[in-house]
Chains A and B, each alone.
Chain A
Amino acid sequence: RKEVEQDPGPFNVPEGATVAFNCTYSNSASQSFFWYRQDCRKEPKLLMSVYSSGNEDGRFTAQLNRASQYISLLIRDSKLSDSATYLCVVNWNFNKFYFGSGTKLNVKP
């Protein structure tokens, strides 16, 4: 079983739609969680950290479910510019992060 698993997608949604991705992780001792965004042929960029109580940044909401060992990312009012691959990242070993293979999102006009 992979340490971090994501549905590769693609998720094809119209502008203005709400879309959600989940990511499951294998190690119950995981300590920190992040969502990164990666545009085609570019480096990943930090989108948001995921806190135990859940957190929101504008149209983006991240949540953590420790009991079921998954994190989620919700995007409201999707924009064309949200089209990218979203990487789930989990840390349970100091200085070592584990990356999911990403979920591709296509937002259509």
Chain B
Amino acid sequence: DGGITQSPKYLFRKEGQNVTLSCEQNLNHDAMYWYRQDPGQGLRLIYYSQIVNDFQKGDIAEGYSVSREKKESFPLTVTSAQKNPTAFYLCASSKDSIVNYGYTFGSGTRLTVV
């Protein structure tokens, strides 16, 4: 079955560490996205990529970095510059015509700073 796989499901980060969250899709979707969700808040866009080797900053890109070397993969690195990284991170993908189809989400990664 096609879908989006995020790993790990839970991740603990020490202060000052960089960590990378994995996102892989086999839906043949061109566009991929990273969102962050905090308790009681809506999803906020971190980065998105419409095609391979291209990506754009979202609304809260500071302290994060991404790469899109393959269509299937869109990893997110949470750097030490991100001061409040504890959150639920969601990766999503969409067909070209997202107007009609919306997103497909992965099951998420819960990141906690310890």
The reply to whether the CB of B85 lies closer than 8 angstroms to some CB of chain A is no
Q: Please give, as numbers and ranges, the residues of chain A lying within 8 Å of B35 by CB-CB distance.
A: 99
Residues 50 to 87 of chain A near chain B (Cβ within 8 Å): 87
Q: How many A-B residue pairs have CB under 8 A?
A: 57
Chain-A contact segment, one of B13-21, B65-73, B75-83, B103-111? B103-111
Partner of A43, one of B48, B58, B106: B106
A99 in contact with B42 (CB, 8 Å): yes
Which positions in B face A, CB cutoff 8 Å? Answer: 31, 33, 35, 40-45, 48, 50, 58, 88, 90, 94, 98-100, 102-108, 110
Choice from B58, B102, B105 contacting A96 with Cβ under 8 Å:
B58
Query: Would B90 and A44 count as touching, CB distance under 8 A?
Result: yes
CB < 8 Å: which of B33, B40, B105 contacts A101? B40
Q: Which residues does A use to contact B, with CB under 8 Å?
A: 4, 8, 31-32, 34, 36, 41-46, 49, 87, 89, 91, 94-102
A96 touches B99 (CB 8 A): no
Cα–Cα distance between A94 and B31 once the two chains are bound (Å): 11
Cα(A87)–Cα(B35), bound, Å: 14
B90 touches A95 (CB 8 A): no
Residues of chain B with a CB closer than 8 A to A45's CB: 105
A42-B102 in contact (CB<8A)? no
